[in-house]
């Protein structure tokens, strides 16, 4: 039996014939078979071996804890006031504050810290949020997420004697 090598490699080996063939002994053939069997059995076994770690060290528990912190529902405290207009009547006999229709919770960032964000906004006569303004900040990324979410909120507008009017709203988000 001969083991054939590429021509370039054959030039550098002293016991190689000009055709690139190396004479192979019976011992060498047997060793090749043993190594091939070893590789066939050992490599898959090494790939499936696992190391047991304590639950506090697993990445899954760290990830689930992090997700719990991020997706924790923020606490809310809201208050509304009428927006005074020059042309409006002096007093409304029957006033009703805006009623929330859709107000999804914003994603509070950064996740690890206790934070409080205060936002002021106007609920228009169309029930949409106008001019949201951060009164107390949590940082640029968190403020951007909160403002983006607050702009999507929809309300049934406040009324003055049954007529829709604008109302100022203030809301406080906190993670406690």
Cα 48 to the chain's mean position, in Å? 30
Q: What is the CA radius of gyration of the chain?
A: 36
Lowest mean pLDDT among 43-47, 63-67, 102-106, 163-167: 43-47
Contact 24, 3 (CB under 8 A): yes
Q: pTM of the full predicted structure? A: 0.52
Q: Which residue reads 């192979």 in tokens?
A: 24
Residue 24 lies in a domain: yes
Residue 59 lies in a domain: no
Residue 62 lies in a domain: no
Same domain, 90 and 141: yes
Same domain, 16 and 84: no
- List the structure tokens of 11: 């030039």
The confidence band for 110, taking pLDDT boundaries of 50, 70 and 90, is low
Residue 126 lies in a domain: yes
**What CATH number corresponds to the domain at position 143?**
3.30.2420.10
Residue 169 lies in a domain: yes
Same domain, 42 and 75: no
Residue 154: φ, ψ to 5°: -130, 140
Same domain, 119 and 155: yes
Contact 167, 81 (CB under 8 A): yes
Q: What is the pLDDT of residues 60-90, one digit of tens each?
A: 777 777 766 666 666 776 777 766 655 555 5
Q: Which domain holds residue 145?
A: 69-174
pLDDT at res. 20: 55
């Amino acid at each position: 039996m001969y083991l054939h090598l590429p021509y370039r490699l054959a030039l550098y080996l002293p016991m190689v014939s000009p055709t690139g063939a190396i004479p192979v002994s019976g011992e060498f053939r047997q060793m090749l078979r043993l190594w091939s069997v070893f590789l066939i059995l050992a490599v898959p076994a090494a790939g499936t071996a696992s190391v047991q770690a304590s639950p506090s060290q697993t990445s899954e528990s760290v990830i689930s804890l992090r997700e719990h912190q991020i997706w924790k529902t923020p606490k809310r405290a809201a208050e509304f006031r009428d927006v005074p207009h020059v042309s409006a009547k002096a007093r409304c006999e029957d006033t009703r504050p805006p009623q929330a229709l859709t107000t999804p919770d914003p994603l509070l960032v950064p996740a690890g810290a206790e934070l409080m964000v205060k936002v002021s906004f106007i609920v228009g006569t169309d029930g949409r949020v106008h001019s949201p303004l951060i009164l107390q900040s949590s940082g640029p990324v968190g403020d951007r997420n909160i403002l983006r979410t607050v702009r999507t909120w929809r309300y049934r507008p406040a009324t003055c004697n049954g007529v829709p009017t604008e109302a100022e709203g203030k809301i406080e988000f906190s993670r406690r």
